[in-house]
Structure 1
Amino acid sequence: MSVCRPARCLFTKAAATTLPKATPQRCFQTSAIRQARKRRPHYPSIKADDLKLLNEAAEAEYPKYDTSETTLLAKRYTPSQIAAIQAAESAIDTRDVVTQGQQRTDPWMLPYEDDLAEVDPVIDKRPRLGPDDVPGKKSYRLANEVERDESIARIANETLAKMYPDGIPEGQTDAAQEQQFQDAIEAALSQATLDPRATYTSKNPAVLEALADSRHNAVQPDLPRLENRMARQTRQLSTEEEEDPRQKRLLQYLGWDKKKLRSIRVKTLVSHSVTNQTRMGKIRSLYYLTIAGNQDGLLGVGEGKSVEPDEGRKQSIMSAIRNMKPVPRYENRTIYGDLEVKVGATKVQLFSRPPGFGLRTQHLIFELARAAGLQDLAARTPRSRNKMNVIKATWEALTSQKLPDEIARARGKKMVDVRKVYYGGSVH
């Protein structure tokens, strides 16, 4: 037994400064002990002034329902629905919506701020009414010339009233306004001429309303109603040149018009000849690889091969436009983090860069980034630099990015946590 131990026990009640310091224990863990850690709050501390400004911004952007709005809601929703709306409004903190909310900016975003009162022809399934939905007698007849002229004038006036809700411009107008007004009159008369109410008439006003309703066809109940827009698209003027059937099918597939199709940036990056050995001999053809993009978040790659040069190029262009996919863009200028994709023996590495950096890449990736609408990007191709594989790998990397909200959901965290760690602390 050590003789120092009784002395040490006697001096336990003495001052701490008089005792020698104990030997520190050895720590077998890589992390520091809890006493040595710097305690970090779970939530960032907000000053009172900032909190006041945050409350003002939340109240201005997301105001509460007043009495007049509640009465309007009562006319359109049931009491149970109103109770559910009020419960959801009270459960969601508007300050969290302001600080953590994010609105999508990609071309395929949905209208989240829609009140769902109207049917969207793209997203929703269009309802169709039958003959039983028209009350009264369903008799109709062909209109004579006088009734047809009156109907065309009435329908044209209704269309002009929708185009000019504040009234037709009067007084001195310039040439552009006069031309615009003449075009509006011509469009209104064309639409009125194609309207079924100008061709048929009935004593039952419900039948006339059904003629103007796009959900019902009173003339042929078994067939869907022909839209005026479709009639205008299928009508071809004698002065127009013959339309390419491939382009016509593409416009019908995408639901676009020619003006929107011309805004797509198209460029052929790879073209070479290929040979196919058959029992009849060698058949030479030309191969084209083309990219297409709207310079606002859409990018596509297409291939085409034909014996005729123009035919192969048109095939690649139509294929590229048809294969366009959305490209997620951080702040509408660069990518989300660093990307690396391998196709064959080619590896492409893409790096996000700060504003003003520019596109410092090779010419193939430069054209892809410019067609997609990217402005700040750096790239490396450390392995094979085959043109076809470089283009395909870059397209796959840009269209298969992981968005911050997807990363947050996979980790069970909020969006603000991922952005704070990986995206420069920007949480708004």
Structure 2
Amino acid sequence: MSVCRSARCLFSKATTGLPKSAPAPATRSFQTTAPRPARRRRPHYPSIKAEELQLLNKAAEATYPKYDTTETTLLEKRYTPDQIAAIKAAETAIDTRDILTQGQRRSDPWLLPYKDDLAEMDPVTDHAEKLSHKDIQGSKTFRYTNPVERDEAITQVAMEQLAKLYPDGVPEELSAEAQADLEDMVGTAMTQAAFDPRAIYTSKNPKAMATMADPRHSIVQPDLPRIENRMMRQTTRLANEEKEDPREKQLLQYMRWTKKQLRGLTIKTLVVHGVVNQTRMGKIRSMYFLTIAGNGNGLLGVGEGKSVEPADGRKQSVMSAIRNMKAIPRYENRTIYGDLEKKVAATRVLLYSRPPGFGLRCQHLIFEMARAAGLQDLAARTPRSRNKMNVIKATWEALVNQKLPDEIARGRGKKLVDVRKVYYGGSVH
């Protein structure tokens, strides 16, 4: 291949002096992709030929025909003119060809009957309609039945119950087992009829009597059918019961708290990492947890836990934090008394009290501890090591071991006065 051949292809378009009627010289493309005008665009929708469209129209008209005069007359007897107009508008808006090509009938067990007008109530999927005494036409007075009326009502109600079991009538010839079943059904029907309201009360208004058998007038909503067996009840009972933790029970006895007080605590795990213990059996890996607990109103605790099982280790740290909770002195229930400093190992924590509205401007570990203790205005610095475990322990010891103004005054033999409290009535503005 010649070296100048590519250059000849490049400069072939730039040649001048050729007449306009002359055809352009052939150029070679440097890429295998076809030019944009020569590409065939993929259609967004499948193309349908005219023959297929005619067949589709015939199939749609055969499957979903339009309403004829007879059907329109039947619809006018059931629906109002506005409803018929809405039905026609819906039929016009839906293209039968789309239903034929895109529609699909459901085959799952929860499908609705397609040819159902939904006029009747389904006892499984529908809730029965509730009616009140205002829906009873005529007199609404009732009275107790006398013995004769009671016997007649019991017989009538029992016959209605048996008619549901034997819609075609009781067979004349029955086997011994069928005869025994029939006797049991008769006894059950008589018992149900004795407790039926129609056997206890009566009224001169037949519509008022019909309301006693109408479930729509019942106060108790009939439940949906359920599977009732011993295994289901046992499973439900075990699922609802809360497994009592012996450590939690012992903690409640130790602190003399209730479960409600224990649930109201703010608990947060701040440090989680794995540790390895070298033994003669080899290296045993476990998880370490450091958790804080507080009630948001002056109590704060720190606890540690370690176990091979993470859930057990965290539970140990939570119980230890709750057990180690101590009271945090708070000035005006919002900040600390003066500036604090505490050093644990190579970590040094500095805490500063701040005026109202300052907020918590400190790192996230001290922020979580201050929020759990109920502090609102606080600033903090950690100028040296920022080891998480040491920061938490130093902050907790600093908050717990605060020196109160009364103790300082008693040690110095002086009298201290809170100016804001004495002269300004504790105003924070």
Same fold (TM over 0.5): no
Q: Normalised by the size of structure 2, how large is the TM-score?
A: 0.41
| Bigger relative contact order (CA 8 A; separation at least 6) | 1
Give TM-score, length-normalised by structure 1.
0.41
Task: From the CA coordinates, give the structure whose radius of gyration is larger.
Answer: 2
